[in-house]
Structure 1
Amino acid sequence: MGYTNTRQCLDALEAKGELVQIDKAIDANIEIGAIQRRVFQAGGPALLFTNVKGCRFPMAANIYGTKERMQFIFRDTIETVKRLMKLKLSPLDALKRPWQYLGAPRTAWHTIPRKKKWGPVLENETTISRLPQLISWPMDGGGYVTLPQVYSESPDAPGYAGSNLGMYRVQLSGNDFIPDKEIGLHYQIHRGIGHHHAQALENGEALKVNIFVGGAPAMTLAAVMPLPEGVAEIFFAGAMGGHRIPMVAREGGLPIPAESDFCICGTVSKGVEKPEGPFGDHLGYYSLTHDFPVLKVDKVFHRTGAIWPFTTVGRPPQEDTVFGDFIHEMTAELVPSVFSGVHEVHAVDAAGVHPLLLAVGSERYVPYAEERQPQELLTNAMALLGNTQTSLSKYVFISAREDMPAGLNCHNIPEFFRHMLERVDLKRDLHFMTRTTIDTLDYSGISLNQGSKLIFAAAGKRQRSLATEMPSGMDLPRGFRDPQIFAPGILVLKGPKHQKKRDYQDPALDRLAQSLAKAKGIEGFPMVVVADDANFTAMDWDNFLWVTFTRSDPATDMYGVGGFTHAKHWGAETAVIIDARLKTYHAPPLEADPDVEKRVDALGAPGGPLHGII
């Protein structure tokens, strides 16, 4: 039986020695988030803050901060849910190994929510301004809910089967929101609530929305689970929680989990949008201020003894990284059933998840050809860009499984890049989609939600040997310097400060390409990255991936040594150059407050509550 509420979960973690209680007065403005991030980076325990300045509610953080803690929280159900997922993949497996599926019928029963007339969540009412006002980064526009479970139902087909539970950004205060009456609801493209909102707009009615905080840990996991369209997350929550989720039916409103710590009830009306943000997001930059829907607040409920779970995000890895790894482990075997011909995928956390997707697929279209080239791989890549959350990927690097040596997979990033760069035909195997939708949080494109995508495919025999020695005769143009070999076949160098407008290429990079074409040995470096700080970018793979793929738009920021366009196809004779400088139109990267960091240091000093942890 899984945990039904936050307090049960925290008590179990405390009994296991995985919880530290902090009674010292802590400010929810910057300080508490800085503590959470430092403890997460140290691999530390869950945290319970009992004395939040100016707020009566305790706050809990880092509950899901380690893989081991996630496995402990869901220890009673994870294997059964994995088997249930596998059963969908291969129903005959249940006949071959029936003993492995003994819990499946019970798990299926748990998916059905249990109706209740009343629950602890309805014991008390409060207001938005009395809730914890978490501000994670110095430029954040106000207080935010960072572990919300945003619940909506299809106006055309109400009920649990047509419901959506997602983790969308919720701004409680700041900007132009009317205190206690309005809050901001930021949801990105390709999210289930968007379909419900569209139906409500078409019907000329307001969309009812409930925002749950706390309760069963399975509800939090379900809110971030990338389930196929048409599969209700609340069903998954019951399976993962090991019990039927008790839901209170509220007359005239949406149901509420009886065991939630908090619930904000409200409606989103047509034509009501207000500025939301800025907010320090999981790409490591600020999402800037843009107009998003406004939730008109109807009621705010909370249970007696309510606890406010939270996390903070920023440049990966953060606590949401653990969610991603946990979900990958659960769903890895399902990838071929969702994407025919695709064997594995890796949404790279260090690059902010959506900017870079690595994949392995089959290349079987022309098995009799003397020389194989990417064909089925392109079908595979287009499927990835057309379904589920992989559709938000910006760069897709996909390799043929048939060419990969035993033991290599796309989670071994250095070796996967080496394999790809050895085999890609730069004249043929780069496929762009321009003026298309990209992740809302990605500011590298030509406008909000709009930019380009690149399929970088490799199949067949090795095309080149990758160099590990600097090319000779490099006469770099003015402003370019500090060339460094980052990895075999990858050259990083510093470029001048970017000064162009959005949606325009920089002639300086064309001059660089012309200069590099004269260097002896440049053919051994099929990838050249231009950054603001070559030393930082080349320091390690995390820095390289973050800088290269969060700060570039494929169509705008890719240049070629020997670049050409033929019949609307772009390629490069020798090497691609990726302009990974911060652009004039990019959002600023996140930076910690030095004074706050000093206060956090004091908590880790001898006698402090975090001594020996940070």
Structure 2
Amino acid sequence: MGYVCLSDCLADLESHGHLRRVDEEIDPHLELAAIQRRLFRAGAPAVLFTRVRGTPFPMLANLFGTRERLRFIFRDGIRAVEGLFKAKADPALLLRRPWRAAALAPGLVHMLPRRVSGAPVLACRCALADLPRLTCWPKDGGPFMTLPLVYTENPRQTGMMASNLGMYRVQMTGNDYAADEVGLHYQIHRGIGVHHSVALGMGNALPVHIFVGGPPSLTVAAVMPLPEGISELCFAGLLGGRRTALAGARHSSLPVLAEADFCVSGHLLPRLKPEGPFGDHLGYYSLQHDFPVLKVEAVHHRRGAVWPFTVVGRPPQEDSVIGDFIHEITVPLVPQAFAGVREVHAVDVAGVHPLLLALGSERYTPYEAARQPRELLTAAMHLLGVTQTALAKYVLLAACEDAPELSVRDVPAFLRHMLERVDFSRDLHFLTRSSSDTLDYTGCGLHEGSKLIWASAGEKKRNLAAEIMAAPNLPEGFAGLRVVMPGVLAVRGPTHALPRNAQDSALTALARMFASWSRRESFPLVVVADDPDFCADNLENFLWVTFTRSDPATDSYGADGRFQAKHWLCNAPLILDARRKSFHAPPLEEDPAVTRGVEALAAPGGALHGYY
């Protein structure tokens, strides 16, 4: 059976060597986050910090820091999840092997939340100021909850089956918040938005519970890309191997997660206040913007409560492990969720949403002499229409018929396959002024940017080169041409100083130069960067720089670029402007003094020697 509560999980981890304790006092302002980043990089165990400055509560780091630990934590429920997803993807499987239906039955029972009369989470009360206050990056607007479980229900259809359990960051102090207020930042395309919209339409404040801690399956459920109408509480019970316990609360119309460690209760007010900045998972700060405010009316916690936290930043981080875990268990559902799609990969090191790779079928016109994108375009529209894939900025699709062995998880091989086959007069399709990831500052404005569907199919068209050989004569202001990988070049461009939504005449001149270069077909992709050496140093740098610093519509140029019936096309090479723009958010950097301190803690004799 799964864990009843977080304390059960920690006891189990500690008995198996997956948890260590640190009893030296640690500062939650920058120091604790810097330690967590190092624990993750080192593949360290989970760590319980028993003395945290400014709070009576211990804080838990790196709980989901390794794939092995995730598998260990969910060993009681993972088979049930995998079995159910395989059956959902192929219902005929149960007809062919009916004994599997019996094996699924216990897991299905665990999906049904249960009502309990007592709630350990309501055992004690405290002030909002007593809670741990984690500040992760130097320019953060204040301390944040980084693993909050935000529970709401549809005001017109109350009850668990109309609920949403999501993970939306919570700013605890700073800016203009009163002592009994917190900022609730929920991004575009999130379930809580539907509930909040209904409440505002009724002229009411939306009741909200923010839980922290509890069975670890709740955390994974809160970030699962479940279809609207599917309860996260049901999935948490399935994954955790134990039914989710709900209890009534006198202070709220909403039920509480009985076995959570903390519960912050209140109402979303019908007004906004500035929230942020916050060092986010793209590797940059999300800047200060107006977001909803939660009026806090009660703070409860269980006896012996533990405050789990995570730290995000340029990937990979701990949330990358959770993302890979979710991808692994949802693989069987991809063809069912997206017709004509075999495999998808939201590339973590590129910030997840900026770059989505997909393998699909190309079966619409088998009678044509040469295969070209037809069905792939339908699949791309589907990917951009539902679930979290709708936030993708660059969507690259290949036809599985062209290379049956190709996998989207092998990013270099996938990119090479695309570059060998791309026809830039046909394969690029832009969606302008579309909805975009709230955290992405490359587009037209907050929540708004462009998308690029790049779908290529058919026979190989060119051979890619790994050496420049006859280098082109670059225009003034450009230098430092580097090979990133076969077929891809990086070049330094002049410092960007233009306003948002403006194309750069210097890049147009660069495209004209490449149009006459004899080797241009050997390098069909050119990236303009501030530091081409950094960009070309490794694949992770290239992906991060290219796709987090460019907007498809504004930053795409190409040899002989032109419009034909409103369709933009070009010849090779395609040029992407991945310079840092004047309106971009700043990248994340640690405080040097804090860095020295946490490195000293890991030195011989330090409290964290041997941890990282």
TM-score of the superposed pair, with normalisation by structure 1: 0.98
Deviations 1:25-74 (A, max 9, x none): 10000000000010100111101001101111100010000000000000
Cα distance, 1:275 vs structure 2:
0.3
Measured in 1, the distance between the counterparts of 2:559 and 2:128 equals 56
Question: Secondary structure at 2:357's aligned position in 1?
Answer: strand
**1:151 equivalent in structure 2:** 151
Measured in 1, the distance between the counterparts of 2:555 and 2:461 equals 24
Cα distance, 1:253 vs structure 2:
2.0
Match of 1:467 among 465, 468, 476: 465
Q: How does 1:414-563 map to 2 (within 5 A)?
A: 414-470=412-468, 472-563=470-561
> AA paired with 1:516?
F
Measured in 1, the distance between the counterparts of 2:84 and 2:455 equals 34
Cα distance, 1:608 vs structure 2:
2.3
Cα distance, 1:230 vs structure 2:
0.9
Cα distance, 1:451 vs structure 2:
0.6
Measured in 2, the distance between the counterparts of 1:262 and 1:610 equals 28
Deviations 1:324-379 (A, max 9, x none): 11001100010000001000000000000000000000000100101111010000
Measured in 2, the distance between the counterparts of 1:285 and 1:44 equals 25
Question: Secondary structure at 2:20's aligned position in 1?
Answer: strand
Measured in 2, the distance between the counterparts of 1:503 and 1:174 equals 32
**1:258 equivalent in structure 2:** 258
**2:16 equivalent in structure 1:** 16
Q: How does 1:219-238 map to 2 (within 5 A)?
A: 219-238=218-237
Cα distance, 1:242 vs structure 2:
1.1
Measured in 1, the distance between the counterparts of 2:241 and 2:582 equals 50
Moved more, 153-162 or 603-612: 603-612
- The answer on 1:93 being equivalent to 2:93 is yes
Q: Is the 8 A contact 1:6 1:216 kept in 2?
A: yes
Deviations 1:287-330 (A, max 9, x none): 00000000111111001111000000000000000001100110
Moved more, 115-124 or 65-74: 115-124
Q: Is the 8 A contact 1:475 1:516 kept in 2?
A: no
Cα distance, 1:97 vs structure 2:
2.6
Measured in 2, the distance between the counterparts of 1:106 and 1:298 equals 39
Deviations 1:464-494 (A, max 9, x none): 1112221525111122111011111101111
Question: Secondary structure at 2:176's aligned position in 1?
Answer: coil
> AA paired with 2:389?
T
Measured in 2, the distance between the counterparts of 1:509 and 1:424 equals 21
**1:217 equivalent in structure 2:** 216
**1:78 equivalent in structure 2:** 78
Measured in 1, the distance between the counterparts of 2:464 and 2:505 equals 28
Measured in 2, the distance between the counterparts of 1:435 and 1:3 equals 46
Q: How does 1:9-88 map to 2 (within 5 A)?
A: 9-88=9-88
Cα distance, 1:444 vs structure 2:
0.5
Measured in 1, the distance between the counterparts of 2:291 and 2:323 equals 26
**2:389 equivalent in structure 1:** 390
Measured in 2, the distance between the counterparts of 1:542 and 1:471 equals 25
Measured in 1, the distance between the counterparts of 2:35 and 2:266 equals 32
Question: Secondary structure at 2:503's aligned position in 1?
Answer: coil
Question: Secondary structure at 1:346's aligned position in 2?
Answer: strand
Q: Is the 8 A contact 1:123 1:301 kept in 2?
A: yes
Q: Is the 8 A contact 2:400 2:406 kept in 1?
A: no
Cα distance, 1:269 vs structure 2:
2.3
Cα distance, 1:86 vs structure 2:
1.6
**2:181 equivalent in structure 1:** 182
Cα distance, 1:11 vs structure 2:
1.1
Measured in 2, the distance between the counterparts of 1:471 and 1:293 equals 56
Measured in 1, the distance between the counterparts of 2:278 and 2:606 equals 30
Cα distance, 1:509 vs structure 2:
0.4
Question: Secondary structure at 2:451's aligned position in 1?
Answer: strand
Cα distance, 1:248 vs structure 2:
1.2
Q: Is the 8 A contact 2:514 2:573 kept in 1?
A: no
> AA paired with 2:490?
V
- Shift of the 442–48 alpha-carbon distance from structure 1 to 2, 3 Å rule, reads same
Q: Is the 8 A contact 2:145 2:170 kept in 1?
A: yes
**1:335 equivalent in structure 2:** 334
Q: Is the 8 A contact 1:129 1:173 kept in 2?
A: no
User: Percentage identity across aligned positions?
Assistant: 57
Aligned length: 611
Question: Secondary structure at 1:469's aligned position in 2?
Answer: coil
> AA paired with 2:113?
P
**2:170 equivalent in structure 1:** 170
**1:351 equivalent in structure 2:** 350
**1:569 equivalent in structure 2:** 567
> AA paired with 2:508?
D
Q: Is the 8 A contact 2:162 2:231 kept in 1?
A: yes
Q: Cα RMSD (Å) of the superposition? A: 1.0
Cα distance, 1:101 vs structure 2:
4.0
Measured in 2, the distance between the counterparts of 1:337 and 1:203 equals 36
Q: Is the 8 A contact 1:120 1:259 kept in 2?
A: yes
Cα distance, 1:202 vs structure 2:
1.2
Q: Is the 8 A contact 1:396 1:454 kept in 2?
A: yes
Q: Is the 8 A contact 2:135 2:144 kept in 1?
A: yes
**1:368 equivalent in structure 2:** 367
- The answer on 1:122 being equivalent to 2:122 is yes
Deviations 1:10-34 (A, max 9, x none): 1111111111111111000000000
Question: Secondary structure at 2:573's aligned position in 1?
Answer: strand
Measured in 2, the distance between the counterparts of 1:5 and 1:90 equals 34
Moved more, 378-387 or 565-574: 565-574
Measured in 2, the distance between the counterparts of 1:274 and 1:103 equals 51
Q: Is the 8 A contact 1:444 1:551 kept in 2?
A: yes
Cα distance, 1:96 vs structure 2:
2.5
Detail structure 1 runs of 4+ shifted over 3 Å in the superposition. 98-103
> AA paired with 2:125?
E
> AA paired with 1:340?
A
- The answer on 1:302 being equivalent to 2:338 is no
- The answer on 1:195 being equivalent to 2:194 is yes
Measured in 2, the distance between the counterparts of 1:295 and 1:171 equals 10
Measured in 2, the distance between the counterparts of 1:478 and 1:5 equals 63
Q: Is the 8 A contact 2:442 2:550 kept in 1?
A: yes
Measured in 1, the distance between the counterparts of 2:174 and 2:536 equals 39
Cα distance, 1:235 vs structure 2:
0.8
Cα distance, 1:131 vs structure 2:
0.5
Measured in 2, the distance between the counterparts of 1:519 and 1:498 equals 25
Q: Is the 8 A contact 2:122 2:301 kept in 1?
A: yes
- Shift of the 473–16 alpha-carbon distance from structure 1 to 2, 3 Å rule, reads closer
Deviations 1:540-577 (A, max 9, x none): 11000000000000000010111111110011112110
> AA paired with 1:143?
P
> AA paired with 2:245?
P
**2:579 equivalent in structure 1:** 581
Q: Is the 8 A contact 1:526 1:576 kept in 2?
A: yes
Question: Secondary structure at 2:537's aligned position in 1?
Answer: coil
Q: Is the 8 A contact 1:148 1:170 kept in 2?
A: yes
Show structure 1 runs of 5+ residues with no match: none
Moved more, 408-417 or 469-478: 469-478
- The answer on 1:401 being equivalent to 2:403 is no
> AA paired with 1:284?
G
Question: Secondary structure at 1:237's aligned position in 2?
Answer: helix
Q: Is the 8 A contact 1:342 1:362 kept in 2?
A: yes
Deviations 1:376-415 (A, max 9, x none): 00000000000100000000000000001x4320110101
